[in-house]
Amino acid sequence: MKPKVLIMSGYGINCEAESAHAFELVDAKSQIVHINDLISKKVKLSDFQIIMFPGGFSYGDDTGSGNAFANKLKNNLWLDLIEFINSRKLILGICNGFQVMVHLGLFTLPHTFYGQRKYALLPNTNNRYECRWIYIKTNPSKCIFTKDIDMIHIPVAHGEGRFYCDQKILKKLKHNNQIVFRYCNAKGQKAKGFYPFNPNGALEDIAGICDKSGRLMGMMPHPERAIYLINDPEFHLKKEIAKNKGEKLPKFINSNLKIFKNAVEYFKN
């Protein structure tokens, strides 16, 4: 049976179609649902196996990126969401979705509970909206979504993506293997905070984390916008190089598609 994926929608979110398409490509059944339809019980969270909070600018980010959307969800759907999590299901948040999950306090540590916020995604250090392709490298972790992934070429598009937490929390994240992705250069070497390899000044180059179970992940870069190789800004160069070598380029950027495939395989296995 195909796992059902709830693509969360609402005012200002704009990556629903790409997100739904990515999951459809790896044999899941996607449904884009407005948060109001969940609140009114037209659709139930319990009918799905995966929730995805997509990117965008929910409620215009007027009260901080992801904050208003997180509050609306927490005030109306919190018990349903906790029941969903306790059913050993999966949640993925990308960019604005990551921001929503941070506000909701979904990235638990050992001996902490859902709803306790421990992190922040602050304005980029250059105080500018960053829209560029960067590299990230997986960090050894317990995360379901990152199995068999090494390094990824991927776009970012955000103004508030600078991951931050205090040193005590950072130590626990490291100890429990919950740091999922780190920014790096094209050779896979640590960005060490240097721009543009680290596009926002994130603490220790952190681009994504997971909760203590490894079933909930958030990341700032956008894999759903980089599924096809033709999306890559270096596509035409790679095409000519492959042509000269008599080789054929793959259709997909498999490392990015693998994030969605891993989620689907979690249920099929």
pLDDT value at position 1? 79
Poorest-confidence range of 18-32, 59-73, 201-215? Answer: 59-73
Annotation marks residue 222 as catalytic: yes
99: nearest Cα among 145, 161, 159: 161
218: nearest Cα among 228, 206, 210: 210
Asked whether the predicted pLDDT for residue 161 surpasses 90, the reply is yes
Report the alpha-carbon distance of residue 135 to residue 143 in Å, rounded: 19
Asked whether the predicted pLDDT for residue 62 surpasses 90, the reply is no
Asked whether the predicted pLDDT for residue 64 surpasses 90, the reply is no
Asked whether the predicted pLDDT for residue 268 surpasses 90, the reply is no
Torsion sign, CA atoms 252, 138, 238, 155: positive
Report the alpha-carbon distance of residue 110 to residue 114 in Å, rounded: 11
For 170-216, the pLDDT digits (tens) are: 999 999 999 999 999 999 999 999 999 999 999 999 999 999 999 99
| From 16, 160, 204, 224, active-site residue | 224
Q: Which residue has the higher pLDDT, 142 or 199?
A: 199
Annotation marks residue 18 as catalytic: no
How many residues in total does the chain contain?
A: 269
Asked whether the predicted pLDDT for residue 56 surpasses 90, the reply is yes
Domain count, the chain: 1
The residue type found at 235 is: F
**pTM metric for this prediction:** 0.96
Domain range for residue 14?
4-268
| From 18, 160, 165, 222, active-site residue | 222
For 69-78, the pLDDT digits (tens) are: 999 999 999 9
| From 15, 95, 165, 184, active-site residue | 95
Residues 184/190, Cβ–Cβ less than 8 Å: yes
Annotation marks residue 234 as catalytic: no
Mean pLDDT over the full length of the chain: 96
Report the alpha-carbon distance of residue 34 to residue 13 in Å, rounded: 10
Confidence grade of residue 259 (pLDDT, cut at 50, 70, 90): very high
Please name every residue paired with 91 in a beta bridge, in sequence order, or none if there are none: 51, 216
What CATH number does residue 160 fall under? 3.40.50.880
Report the alpha-carbon distance of residue 17 to residue 98 in Å, rounded: 18
